[in-house]
Structure 1
Amino acid sequence: MKSWKYLLMTTMVGSALALGACGTDSTEEAETDTESASSASKDSQEEAVLEGKVSGDGSSTVAPILEAVVEEYSTEQSKVQVTVGVSGTGGGFEKFIAGDTDFSNASRPIKEEEKQKLDEAGVDFTEFQIAYDGLSLVVNKDNDWVDSLTIEELKKMWIEDGTEKKWSDINPEWPDEKIVFYSPGTDSGTYDYFDEVVLDEADLVKSAQLSEDDNVLVQGVQGDKNAIAFFGYAYYLANQDTLKVVKVEGIEPTNETIESGEYSPLSRPLFVYAKNSAIKENPAFYDFMKYTIEKAGEMAEAVGYVSLPEEEYEKGLADLEALK
């Protein structure tokens, strides 16, 4: 802009010297053009300012990503009010089905029965994948006997069989102490995922203390040497100074092992499900979803998850644009 103004001023001075009185007209025209350009720029900026409300709910695992997105978005569109609840994946879908929210965060794919209820409610939706997570097993920092667990050991540990579980039941060399279990609540997508890939849909051990808030699980393990829990990778990273992560089948969850799928079977995608009608009818929601997809990879890495390949975000943007 400065070079453009300098060029304009030079031209004006040259014209004044060469043309005398005609220079006055040139100056007035140039000033008029400048004022018009400034006015057009101001109008464009005003038109870009949106107002409206956007509401979402769902997974506590996905919440850190969306909270980071919302914080950044508020600096660009301060008149758009975005609220994001944390009722767990299942609880979020219940509100989505009821028509209470524009989008639902999920740490597992939507279930067939949830799709059916949305169809019955007349809600069309689109699935957007936003990041990868590695469901992480953690124990107390003072636990010096567990470094790695197999899927079979996890089954023996976490499946209810009517007995009181002790560490020595899993490995005779481990302490003869009762295992204290902390688990996400039954509305959590993390619970559902663990139930599917580890428990084979058997009953979770009845003594487990459940919570939809992963921070409660973190605090439980921090306070008990015999405790074990599972939750999203970001919550482990945020508390790695006070927690110890357990390898699964000899593989530790890291950005590299999660993205490659080597951390199997506990690597998983994270989702946002958006209501199609809200995308079409609410400019603020369309703009927020566009911003979310554009920033999801960056925000995922910032809070401790793993970004998708860039082409996945490009596909998401194309799917969003097709709904507008």
Structure 2
Amino acid sequence: MRNFTLTAAAALVLPGFAMAQDAVQIDGSSTVYPVSEAFAEEFQIATGNRVVVGVSGTGGGFKKFCRGETSFSGASRPIKTSEAELCAENGIEFIELPVAMDALAVIANPENTWASCMTVEELKKAYEPEAQGKIDNWSQLNPEFPDHGLTLFGAGTDSGTYDYFTFAIVGEEGASRGDFTATEDDNITIQGVSTDVDAIGFLGLAYLEENRSRVKAVEISYQGGDCVAPTVEAAGDGSYQPLTRPLFIYANKAHLDEKPEVLAYAKFMFDPEHAQELVSETGYLALPKEAFVLAEEKIDARKTGSFFDGGSKIGVSVADLLAAN
């Protein structure tokens, strides 16, 4: 159990909601799930309010969110134009709240001795649509790799991790071969790669950190640069590219106005007195305290809309996220 102290203002408000019958509803990204789960656990302990956290993937979460079924949606990429339009059609105004930086990791079996580092071009050759039915051997990615069959895992198509990986590696969001094992459950990717010496996969950094005894990280070389491993530090200093990305919580503006327990939870999540520590405990790079202060101000002002113009961007920094708030 984590120990955090609520701010004086929150402490005066939250106990009044302890007997609320309606649970706070959150859904969305499996990558953001550890963050949502950590906040939900502490909020329930502090207030007695129930918080229900689902995992439908970023895309699946936005479908529910934009129908007004949930108050918050975790996302491992910015909201798409089509999703924002669905929200608008249903009268849903949203507040975009960056919560952490993540390094999307490529993983291999610990007994894989040849792919300690891969280039973006090699990964593209493995996962691009043109690879389907054609690229099935490690030697096809690089003649120095062995003549071994190639097994591929990765995030499912409803996942923001899938969207960002295809955008950053293949060059087009949603473009990939269709014959790899795609799953919304990152534990399936861990299991598959850990039991097959010829397998690789991609997932969020937190799942790598939890399973470093079972799989190993593949370093990435971008635009001819040095090989860089996926770590919290490399995500923070911007050296791990192009697979460093921000993570988000989206909040339903009307629910903040109409449901006091929802507003209380939003304020709890972005309370700078404990938000950094909670996010860090999940294995992600927490944004600086200033970001959580700005997020609280954004919630108070009910500042709606997205900074990202309907899609992901490569190379987004912490400074960019501070400017976005």
Q: TM range, normalised to the smaller chain?
A: 0.7 to 0.9
Corresponding residue of 1:9: none
Identity of aligned residues (%): 40
The aligned counterpart of 2:95 is: 126
Instruction: Determine the C-alpha separation between the residues in 1 that align with 2:135 and 2:122.
Output: 15
Are residues 1:306 and 2:277 paired? Answer: no
2:195 maps to amino acid: G
Aligned match of 1:86: 55
Q: How does 1:162-181 map to 2 (within 5 A)?
A: 162-181=133-152
Look up the equivalent residue of 1:72 and give its one-letter code: E
Distance in 1, matches of 2:13 and 2:293, equals 26
TM-score normalized with structure 1 length: 0.83
Alignment correspondent of 1:71: 41
Whose radius of gyration is greater, 1 or 2?
1
Shift of 1:106: 0.2
2:120 is aligned with 1:151: yes
What is the CA–CA distance in structure 1 between the aligned matches of 2:94 and 2:13, rounded to whole Å?
32
The C-alpha deviation readout for 1:29-69, integer Å capped at 9, x for no partner, is xxxxxxxxxxxxxx999647462421011000000111111
8 Å CA contact retained: 1:183, 1:191 = yes
Superposition TM-score, scaled by structure 2 size = 0.83
Aligned position for 1:188: 159
Offset of 1:110 from its aligned partner? 0.3
* 3-state SS, counterpart of residue 135 of structure 1: strand
Structure 2 residue 185 is matched with structure 1 residue 206 = no
- SS of alignment partner, residue 149 of structure 2: coil
For residues 46 and 204 of structure 1, do their structure 2 counterparts lie closer, same or farther at Cα, with a shift above 3 Å needed? closer
Q: 2:295 aligns with which of 316, 319, 323?
A: 316
Query: Gaps (5+ residues) in structure 1?
Result: 1-42
Deviation per residue, 1:133-169 (Å, 9 max, x gap): 0000000111111111111111112113241321111
1:296 positional shift: 3.6
1:237 aligns with 2:209: yes
Tell me, which stretches of 5 or more residues in structure 2 are unaligned?
1-11, 222-226, 304-325
C-alpha separation between the residues in 2 aligned to 1:45 and 1:159? 49
Q: Paired residue for 1:4? A: none
Q: Could you tell me how far apart the structure 1 residues matched to 2:153 and 2:288 are? A: 33
**Partners of 1:270 and 1:188 in 2: CA distance:** 13
Change (3 A) 1:48 1:121: closer
Higher helix fraction (1 or 2): 1
Which residue number in structure 1 is paired with residue 74 of structure 2?
Answer: 105
Once the two structures are superposed, residues 172-195 of structure 1 have per-residue CA deviations (whole angstroms, 9 ceiling, x without a partner) of 222211110001110000000011
Q: How many residues align?
A: 281
Shift of residue 252, structure 1, vs aligned partner: 0.8
Is the deviation greater in 222-231 or in 314-323?
Answer: 314-323
On the 8 A contact 1:221/1:243 being kept in 2, the answer is: yes
Q: 1:48 to 1:118 in 2, by over 3 A?
A: closer
Aligned-residue offset at 1:310: 1.3
Contact residue 65 and residue 296 of structure 1 kept, 8 A: no
